[in-house]
Structure 1
Amino acid sequence: MSEVAIEIKGLLFDMDGVLISSIASVNRCWKLWAAHYGVADAQNVQIAHGVRAVDLIKGYKPGFTEAEVTEGLRYIEDLEIADTEGLKVLAGVRELLASLPPERWTIVTSATRRLLLGRLKAAGLPYPDRLIAADDVVNGKPHPEPYMKGAEILGFSTKGCVVVEDAPSGVGAGVAAGARVLGVLGTHTAEEIYAAGATWVARSLESVKVTVVEGGLRVEFEAV
C-alpha cells in the first residue's frame, strides 16, 4: 500500500464497474440476446467488459448488415434498460461525485447514451451535462478517441486528467490518450489492471478524496 497525492485538472470516469455495477444484468441480457440471434452456445456467452455493444454485435454476427446491427443494438439496449435487478452504486461513489465541481468531471463509457442515462437514473446518480457515450465516437475503447473527447469537452488536455477505469480495454484507452489512469478493483485483478498500463490501482473509490484547489483538484488515495 502507498499513499498518493496529485494535483490534476479533471477526472474522466468510466461508468459500469467504476460508478455502478450492473454486471449481472449485462451477463443475463447478452445471453438472451445471443439466444434470440442464434449464437452458438448462447447460455455460455462471455462478454468482454468495457467494449461497445455495437462492436460485440459485429464480433458475434460478422455477416450482419448495418440495418441488422442497428436492430440488434436496439434489442440489447431494451433488454438492459429493463433489467435493473442487482444494479448498485459502488462504494464511495455518491460522496466522491458530490465533492466534485461539475466542470471538473465527466463520464466516458462504452454504453450507448440511452443506456447510460437509463442506468444513471435507475441508480439515482448525478451526471454531467456533457459526457461521452458509445454513440459519440467512431472508435470505441481501447482506442484513445473516447478519452481524448472526454478531456476535450472539459477543455483540458488528457495529460492534465486522470482516467478512472476498471477494465483493461478502458485502461488501454486512457493510456493511449496520454492520461494517467487510476484503476479500481471489481471486475479485474490489480495485476490485470497494472498489466494494461494503469498508473495506480485503488481498492475502491471509497478511498479516493478530492479537494478543490486553485486551478484544479487535489486527489488523494491509497494505491495497492
Structure 2
Amino acid sequence: MKYVLLDVDGTLIDAVDNQRRVWRTWSRRHGLDGDEVYRVALRTRPLETFAEVAPGRDPQQCLALLHELEDEDVRTGTYTAFDGAAELLDGLRPGTWAVVTSNYAHRVRGRFARTGLRVPEVLVDAAAVEEGKPSPVPYLRAAALLGAAPEDCLVIEDAPSGVRSGLDAGMTVWGVNAAAAVDGVHRHFATLRTAVREILAFASGRDTSDASDGPDRS
C-alpha cells in the first residue's frame, strides 16, 4: 500500500498573504520593519525569528502575540485552496493520507473549513512533535500513525525545510507550487493542479516514473 503525506500552507492552501499580513502586524506592534521580519520568518521557525529580529524581547511574549494574530486571521481572513486540492483530497482513500504542518491543528482545521477541503483523519502539527521541519520527525510521526513504512510514502511539499524533512525521513518527495524545483525533490510540478493525476496514480500503486512532464532527480 502507498501513502501520501501533504504539507498545508503553500501546498494545499494559499496562505502567503495571510502570513505576510500577520507578520507585518506583529512587526508593527514591536516597532520593526515588517518586510524584513517576514523575510527572516520565511526561513526560520518563530522562536528563531524572534531571536534574530528582536533579541531583547521575551520570546514567549513574542510567540503569544503571534499566536493571537494567527488565530484572529483564521477567524476573519480570506483563504483560498490551490486549484486541484479538493480533487486530490477527495480522491485519496481514508487511511492512506495525512497532513503534516508546522502550524497548529485548530488553525489547520479552521482553514480547511473555510476552504471546503476534506478534513484529514491524521494530522501531525507543531504540538505533536518535539522537532519540527526540517527534522524528519514530523513525517516519520505521520507514517507511524498510518502504519506506513517510510519507503511507501510520498511527501508533497513546496518549501525547502519540508522537502529536507521528507528526504531525511527516507521518503519520496515531490515539489509543487514553485517556479523552480526545490533542491533534492524527486519530481517537480509548477502547480498542484499539474501534480494531482500523478499523486493519485502513486497512491493507487501505479508507476508514474515515465510521466510526460518528467521527473527532477537532482
Percent sequence identity is 32
Please give the alpha-carbon distance, in whole angstroms, between the structure 2 residues aligned to 1:51 and 1:218: 37
Please give the alpha-carbon distance, in whole angstroms, between the structure 2 residues aligned to 1:57 and 1:51: 9
Residues 58 and 114 of structure 1: CA distance in aligned 2, closer, same or farther (over 3 Å):
farther
| RMSD (Å), alpha carbons | 2.5
Residue 3 of structure 1 is matched in structure 2 by: none
Q: How many residues were matched structurally?
A: 208
Q: Is the 8 A contact 2:46 2:63 kept in 1?
A: no
Residues 178 and 212 of structure 1: CA distance in aligned 2, closer, same or farther (over 3 Å):
closer
Please give the alpha-carbon distance, in whole angstroms, between the structure 2 residues aligned to 1:170 and 1:129: 21
Please give the alpha-carbon distance, in whole angstroms, between the structure 1 residues aligned to 2:74 and 2:44: 17
Taking structure 2 as the reference length, what is the TM-score of the superposition? 0.83
Deviations 1:112-157 (A, max 9, x none): 1121111111111112222101111111111111111111111101
1:183 equivalent to 2:175? Answer yes
SS state at 2:38 partner: coil
Structure 1 gaps of 5+ residues are 1-7
Please give the alpha-carbon distance, in whole angstroms, between the structure 2 residues aligned to 1:93 and 1:35: 34
Residues 14 and 133 of structure 1: CA distance in aligned 2, closer, same or farther (over 3 Å):
same
Structure that is richer in strand per residue: 1
Please give the alpha-carbon distance, in whole angstroms, between the structure 2 residues aligned to 1:148 and 1:50: 22
SS state at 2:25 partner: helix
**Higher RCO, Cα 8 Å, sep 6+:** 1
Q: Is the 8 A contact 1:50 1:110 kept in 2?
A: no
Residue 122 of structure 1 is matched in structure 2 by: 114
Please give the alpha-carbon distance, in whole angstroms, between the structure 2 residues aligned to 1:50 and 1:122: 27
Taking structure 1 as the reference length, what is the TM-score of the superposition? 0.81
Q: Is the 8 A contact 1:80 1:115 kept in 2?
A: no
2:6 to 13, 16, 28: 13
Q: CA deviation at 1:54?
A: 4.9
Q: Is the 8 A contact 1:10 1:217 kept in 2?
A: no
Structure 2 gaps of 5+ residues are none
Please give the alpha-carbon distance, in whole angstroms, between the structure 2 residues aligned to 1:121 and 1:27: 21
Residue 92 of structure 1 is matched in structure 2 by: 84
Q: Is the 8 A contact 1:144 1:176 kept in 2?
A: yes
Q: Is the 8 A contact 2:22 2:70 kept in 1?
A: no
Deviations 1:71-124 (A, max 9, x none): 234323224313423x21111111111111011100001111121111111111
For 2:135, give the aligned amino acid: H
Please give the alpha-carbon distance, in whole angstroms, between the structure 2 residues aligned to 1:205 and 1:42: 29
SS state at 1:182 partner: strand
